[in-house]
Structure 1
Amino acid sequence: MLLRRLSVWLVMSVALFFTISVLVFVLVSLTPGDAARAIVGPTASVERYEQVRAQLGLDLPLWEQYARWLGGLLHGDLGDSVVTGVPVSQVLADRLEPTLSLMIGTFLCASVLGIVLGVIGASRPGAVGKAADVGSVLGAAVPNFWIGLVLAALFAVQLRWLPTSGYTPLVDGVGPWLQHLILPIATLTVGGTALLAKQTRDAVAEQLTQPYILLLRAHGVSERRILWRHALRGAAIPIVTILGMKMIGLTSGTVLVESVFVIPGFAGYSVNATLLHDIPVVQAITLIFTVVIIVTNLAVELLYSRLNVKEAA
């Protein structure tokens, strides 16, 4: 059964990748302007403009441009940036660490904090539960960029505890690396934590009303063990679903945060690449984010299978 589901996942993943790559290729080509005009400038002659277009291959039909890009991808070549001429793999390699650090750090912080707050809210209904509901609404309603600006104004400008912008690679020291990530991760964690806390609270609270919980209490099992081991495990499926959605949402949520805190990641860089019609760069970034989505869906699927087996047992 698991092998069959993995086969279906593989087919759907390949179809998803090609569909997204075609859509991005077409949509970027339909946006105003092109890379040749950005290179030669607005005052260049028509002859010079057409020459650069031919050099970049932009005068070819769109399907042929896509076929060339796909052929290079199948041979492990992401192509060169049409704006800078630098290999796309080199451009993105320098920007991969900041984006991954931001995504993984946010996912871990939001997951731990959201689950802990949700379980506490379920075990203590009343003021704590209502606070979780209010927090989830506010966290989902307030834009990330506004939260980032407020945090930067408070902790970076007024208190001067943290840097306002930039990024320090991990090889330059854990301390500076963490200092530059605290505010961006906190910005992204607020909304994700609030939603996860509410869903966790509701799922765990429902489990606490099940007959098996009453049976465990009758056998003298401690409330702490009931709450964190049995009820939380029973509520795992909806929690895993939210965690998967959170990870996928970070592929787009990092764009604005990287812009606000001037983090040299490729999420924010994709905006400039799109405006300049740098299709190889946009396609490569799309490929990376698509792989993140596909792997996340696979992880959720495997966790579903494992949880269902435990429930059946």
Structure 2
Amino acid sequence: MLQKLLRSVLVLLIVSFVTFCLMFGDGRGIARGVLGLTATEESVTAKVTQLGLDRPLLVQFGDWIAHAATGDLGKSFFTGQQVDSALATRVPVTLTLVIITLALTAVLSVLLGVAAAVRGGWVDRVVQFLSVLGTAVPGFVVAIALVFALAIHWRVFPATGYVPPTQGTGAWIASLTLPVIALLIGSVASAASQFRTAVRETLARDFVRTLRARGVSERHVLFRHVLRNSAGPGLTVLSLQSLAMLGGAVFIEQVFALPGMGQLANTSAQLGDVPIVMGIVLVTILIVLVVNLLGDLAIALLNPKARS
């Protein structure tokens, strides 16, 4: 586990540095973006100095890391707002969207994968067809279709906007239903296919035949032994899905006008607000690393052989 933590820290540093180099490579371009196209060369030069962009890139990155380690992610170049304050209202929205989708993905993919592997026949063919279809159709296309069908045509759910849970549980659930479904379809399609394959491979192993020969009930064999041994590949896919969901949230939040990290990232990237973008990248990396570590812990708990 210590090695995994060290690798996670290394990944965090490498990805942050690469992003930092890509975003902070042109100091004068950043300064001109803040001041506007009509800014004079003298004012651009002064702004570069004010923002500290005239220092060596490694010095800038070391300074940013040192401040980030204490929770100081800097200020927005455009509004002067603290990055952590800007993220404080955005991160919970995106995390809520991703966590709900991930939990539903885990339940539905297990049910569909087990049903396809155990029953076979038309059930297996339907699940495989839905898996291919769900993987092939982009999430934003599904989101737009859901808006037209369930928000505009039938008016079942609101088309856009977010309602905090403090303003009513029903309204909060309604505001998240379509975004969650839009993310859920693709993630379930991929995870269900992986669970199906893992369960089929486990069912063909010798210890399953031995358990059946001893008269152990099929339900006990399936839920006590087969699922536990099939959990590794499925949990790995769910960990990877968290990254895909965070990426998909950028488009989903734009379609449904959700005030999350995706919407903020899109706006900040268009403006060139580098501190905000770096803060979002850092939070995203941390979320993905935490999910992966939790996935590894879950695999180790379910399958003792994976602890070594």
Pair in the same fold by TM > 0.5:
yes
Partner of 1:280: 275
- Residue 115 of structure 1 deviates from its aligned partner by 0.8
Instruction: Supply the distance in 2 between the matched residues of 1:45 and 1:154 (Cα, whole angstroms).
Output: 51
Matches within 5 A, 1:21-100: 21-30=16-25, 34-100=29-95
Question: 1:303: which partner in 2?
Answer: 298
- Asked if residue 131 in structure 1 is aligned to residue 106 in structure 2, the reply is no
What value does the CA root-mean-square deviation take over the aligned residues? 2.1
In the alignment, the residues of structure 1 paired with residue 235 and residue 34 of structure 2 have an alpha-carbon distance, to the nearest angstrom, of 46
Q: Does 1:156 align with 2:127?
A: no
Give, as a single letter, the amino acid of the residue that structure 1 aligns with 2:70: H
Corresponding residue SS for 1:235: helix
Residue 109 of structure 2 is matched in structure 1 by 114
Give the distance between the partners of 2:89 and 2:240, measured in 1 at CA: 27
Amino acid at match of 2:175: H
Please, which moves more after superposition, 38-47 or 75-84?
38-47
Overall identity of the aligned pairs, in %: 37
The 5 A counterparts of 1:80-229 are 80-229=75-224
TM-aligned CA deviation for residue 118 of structure 1: 0.8
Closer, same or farther in 2 for the Cα pair 1:310/1:45, shift >3 Å? closer
Q: Secondary structure at the match of 2:89?
A: helix
* TM-score, normalised with respect to structure 1: 0.91
Q: Distance in 2 between matches of 1:71 and 1:245?
A: 29
User: Do the aligned partners of 1:122 and 1:129 also contact (CA within 8 Å) in 2?
Assistant: yes
For 2:221 and 2:236, the matched residues in 1 are separated by: 22
CA distance in 2: counterparts of 1:103 and 1:31, whole angstroms: 34
Tell me the alpha carbon deviations over residues 89-124 of structure 1, each in whole angstroms, 9 at most, x when there is no partner. Answer: 100001111101111011011111111111111121
- Larger deviation, residues 133-142 vs 152-161: 133-142
Partner of 2:3: 8
| 1:18 alignment counterpart | 13
- Which stretch has the larger CA shift, 148-157 or 72-81? 72-81
TM-score (norm 2): 0.92
Shift of 1:308: 3.6
For 2:26 and 2:300, how far apart are their aligned partners in 1? 43
1:3 corresponding residue in structure 2: none
C-alpha distance after superposition, 1:15-48 (max 9, x if no partner): 1111111100111235898443333322233333
Structure 1 stretch displaced more, 67-76 or 51-60: 51-60
Relative to structure 1, the CA distance from residue 272 to residue 213 in structure 2 (aligned partners, 3 Å threshold; closer, same or farther) is same
Q: What letter corresponds to residue 109 of structure 1 in structure 2?
A: L
Q: Which runs of 5+ in 2 are unaligned?
A: none
Pairwise CA distance, 1:212: 2.7
Match of 2:228 among 233, 241, 245: 233
When residues 210 and 64 of structure 1 are mapped into structure 2, their CA distance, relative to the original with a 3 A threshold, is closer
- CA displacement 1:202-254 (0-9 Å, x = unmatched): 21122222333233333433323322222211211111111111123222121
Instruction: Measure, in 2, the Cα distance between the counterparts of 1:133 and 1:272.
Output: 38
* More deviation, 222-231/160-169: 222-231
